[in-house]
Structure 1
Amino acid sequence: MSDTRMESQTLRSVGEIYNKCMTVLGGLRDQALHESGARQSPRFPITRVAELVGRTTAAIREAEKDGRIPAVERTTSGRRVGYTLAEVNQMREVFGTRPWRSAEDPVSVIAVQNFKGGVGKSTVSAHLAQYLAIQGYRVCLVDCDSQGSSTALFGYVPDLDIHEDETLYPFFRNMEMSSLAYAVRETHWDNLYLIPANLKLYSAEYELAARISRSEPRLLNRLAEGLVSIADHFDVIVLDPPPALGTISLSVMRAANALLVPMPPTVVDFASTTTFLAMLYETLQILEERHFPVDFSWIRFVATRADEGKSMQRELLGLMRNLFGEKMLRTVMRDSAEIDNASARLMTIYELAAPVTSRETYNRGLAYLNGVNAEIEMQIRTTWPSQAEKLRAEGKI
């Protein structure tokens, strides 16, 4: 049997397997949509809304009575069904408590980066983006990874639902394009937008490398240029790059002004993150030598997929905290069955209408997630000059 025939059989076999997988993914998407209905952000009880808005429940009820905000929807028995995120943001507008950055504050562009796969990079990115949206910020999540994991967590099967023209791909290819606005799409979360990804970004990786090698190094600034074109509309931009050192990852580092490194507390992941830091150091040196410096306002490490019930993980967490000091987030992102259950439904734990395992497991996972994201929110606020007085008043600085 000739090599050509062997190759064609292999290609056919791989193609058939791929098509079957896509059919399964489409079925999972349809099943999740059937079970949950139209995708929507969670509803919040009035006590939670009071925390988010910064007003008392009495003030909210009074504003409803005098017509400053619409009365919340109720059941036939008269019970409040909870407030949508859009309604919460409308309250913030009325009460003047939106947390948006001022014009003099820089947009926070956070790269969630590690060159090893399976560290929870997309899980961190999607949950961070949604948490910040709940807090009232204007957020854009940019999926720069051809695998499209962050895109999937918003209910899309990348290569079924997303066309290449809706991703970063056209902007990387066409230097005549001046804005990324074409790729920014609304999500079912108020004030949270998404630039999705699909497999075509894999081609962009090689095309960019080839063009950069032909004396077009300015392409490393291409993503940064695109983000500048949309930055006025956002407070925070979260970048989910590929888990490898390539041209898109380099572009992400050039575009970001903050770096968040997810890192499970295992020996293998600690070793790979050490390698990542070595590669990052060498890469930053090279970029600086070529007049493409990278300047992060902060760098933080977050322990992901953590199980503090395991003695080895506890030891490694202690080592990481001693090693990284203040650069290590105090809260860990625990390994949670609820996050896995949500991911199987192409969503996050913030979107689950009810616990899948138990209320205790759900609440524990949510508490750790909120703790991690609250620390990141504080890092963001410290980079905004307009927040300095408020942070001092809160005793945070």
Structure 2
Amino acid sequence: MSANSILQELYAKGSRSLEILRKSAVTPHDVKILKQWGISDAAAMIGRTPQTLRNLEESGKIKAPQKIQNGKRIERVYSLKEINEIRELFKLRPSKPANTNPTMIGIVNFKGGVGKSFTSLTLSQSLALKGYKVLLIDGDSQGTSTHQGGGLIPDLHVKSDQTLLNVLIGESDEIANCIIKTHWDGLDLIPANLTLYNAEMIIPNQIYQHRQKTGEVLPFYTRLKNSVDKVASNYDVIIIDTPPSLGFITLNVLFSVNGLMIPLLPSEVDYCSTIQFLNMAQESLNRLPPIDYQFVRLLISRHKPSSMQAKTMEGAIRQVFGSSVMTNYMIETEAVSKASADMKTIYEVEPHPNDKKTFKRATDHANQVTEELELLLKMVWNSAEKISKTVTDYSEVS
């Protein structure tokens, strides 16, 4: 049997097994559905009391939520969409100021296994829980964010024209057609699959041909930015998960975003690798037109604070990079691997009673990182709003 036939046969068998796995992880309707919150939790998320929600329901200002049987009690449960609708009713749904641009954050590091996809997913979902409108772009052909965040098997359910591929190779600048709604209200996704990697082979050939014809450098690095700018006003935050490399996809991301989050493990290997990444990234950007970042932060990920070695490396990282390191960190926990095994995230799992403490610890740390990021976002937005107001006032005087 030919090599090609053997590989095709193995692929067919593997694809069928993946489809069975996916169907066991989602609802019978073949769609992931986010959990619902009881009235006490929903009220806390909104910033009102449970009685306020009951009063709104009785007055007809909000529709009656679903009611479920819990033992002998009937309980109200609310979806994230319903919670956001009530937030909007009270004008409590957070958002960027109306006259400012969304913050685009690249989650970058060319070393694999540092938690880029976990960070991208966790921050996106945590911000969506708060009520922000978020676009998560999966720029990694491995498609982890697509798989975990969208419930899709990248190379089974995602077509190449649904990914960034056509945008990155210059065949289209319309990115809106790539955006899909997720089961999280307020969180959209641009998925990825393995075909996205073709950009790394096509772009250098385009650069060569363009130089041969014109003698000029092809501005390939503007393609993602130009496309995302067309839909950016629909969101408060745009988060881009990047591949574990400093190739043409990552260069597009580095040129497009106005903020960077760099996850790294508190280990000597990852510390050295991250320093090399910083050097190579700045050398690459030196070859492109000048850009500004509103912030760059290193995020210690997969941390084991009980480990003396990890704690020592954390101290070294903070001593060297100072305030550029996020105060909070993501911990290494079984909760993440258990959630991933069920094709879910730490915010989607209903943990077994024996695992509740583990999951709470994971979500607590993730929430703390998100709250720190939210403060950073508000500082950026407030600064941009002041500049915008100054420009407007000057224009009116002129």
User: 1:80-133: CA deviations, max 9, x gaps?
Assistant: 242110010010111111112122112110000000111110011011111111
State the secondary structure of the residue aligned to 1:194.
strand
Partner Cα separation in structure 1 for residue 305 and residue 311 of structure 2: 5
Unmatched runs of 5 consecutive residues or more in structure 1: 390-397
* 2:91 equivalent among 89, 96, 117: 96
1:270 CA displacement? 1.0
State the secondary structure of the residue aligned to 1:350.
coil
State the secondary structure of the residue aligned to 1:74.
strand
CA contact (8 A) 1:110 1:238 kept: yes
- Asked whether 1:64 is paired with 2:57, we answer yes
User: 1:121-172: CA deviations, max 9, x gaps?
Assistant: 0011011111111110111101111111110102111000111111112223
Counterpart in 2 of 1:169?
165
Q: Aligned partner of 2:272: which letter?
A: A
Counterpart in 1 of 2:283?
282
Counterpart in 2 of 1:114?
109
Counterpart in 2 of 1:33?
26
- Asked whether 1:261 is paired with 2:256, we answer no
Partner Cα separation in structure 1 for residue 291 and residue 354 of structure 2: 43
1:327 CA displacement? 1.3
Q: Superposed, which structure 2 residues align to 1:1-397 within 5 Å?
A: 9=3, 11-33=4-26, 38-76=31-69, 77-153=72-148, 154-175=150-171, 177-213=172-208, 214-215=210-211, 217-287=218-288, 292-355=289-352, 358-385=355-382
User: 1:6-35: CA deviations, max 9, x gaps?
Assistant: xx53x5555444444433332321221259
Partner Cα separation in structure 2 for residue 34 and residue 136 of structure 1: 25
Alignment length (residue pairs): 377
Structure 2 CA distance for partners of 1:35 and 1:376, relative to 1, 3 Å: farther
CA contact (8 A) 1:208 1:247 kept: yes
Q: What do you get for the CA RMSD once the two structures are aligned?
A: 2.2
Structure 2 CA distance for partners of 1:319 and 1:252, relative to 1, 3 Å: same
Structure 2 CA distance for partners of 1:265 and 1:194, relative to 1, 3 Å: same
CA contact (8 A) 1:111 1:258 kept: yes
1:72 CA displacement? 2.1
Q: Aligned partner of 1:321: which letter?
A: R
Counterpart in 1 of 2:395?
none
Counterpart in 2 of 1:395?
none
Partner Cα separation in structure 2 for residue 37 and residue 15 of structure 1: 26
Partner Cα separation in structure 1 for residue 228 and residue 38 of structure 2: 35
1:62 CA displacement? 1.8
Partner Cα separation in structure 2 for residue 35 and residue 123 of structure 1: 26
CA contact (8 A) 1:305 1:336 kept: yes
Structure 2 CA distance for partners of 1:210 and 1:228, relative to 1, 3 Å: same
1:387 CA displacement? 9.4
State, as a whole percentage, how many aligned pairs show the same letter. Answer: 34
Partner Cα separation in structure 1 for residue 349 and residue 294 of structure 2: 34
Structure 2 CA distance for partners of 1:338 and 1:378, relative to 1, 3 Å: same
Q: Aligned partner of 1:338: which letter?
A: A
1:307 CA displacement? 0.8
Partner Cα separation in structure 1 for residue 193 and residue 41 of structure 2: 36
State the secondary structure of the residue aligned to 2:347.
helix
Partner Cα separation in structure 1 for residue 206 and residue 30 of structure 2: 45
User: 1:51-93: CA deviations, max 9, x gaps?
Assistant: 3222233322221221111222212555224211001001011
Unmatched runs of 5 consecutive residues or more in structure 2: 212-216, 387-398
TM-score in terms of structure 1 length = 0.89
TM-score in terms of structure 2 length = 0.89
Partner Cα separation in structure 2 for residue 17 and residue 325 of structure 1: 50
Counterpart in 2 of 1:394?
none
Q: Aligned partner of 1:361: which letter?
A: T
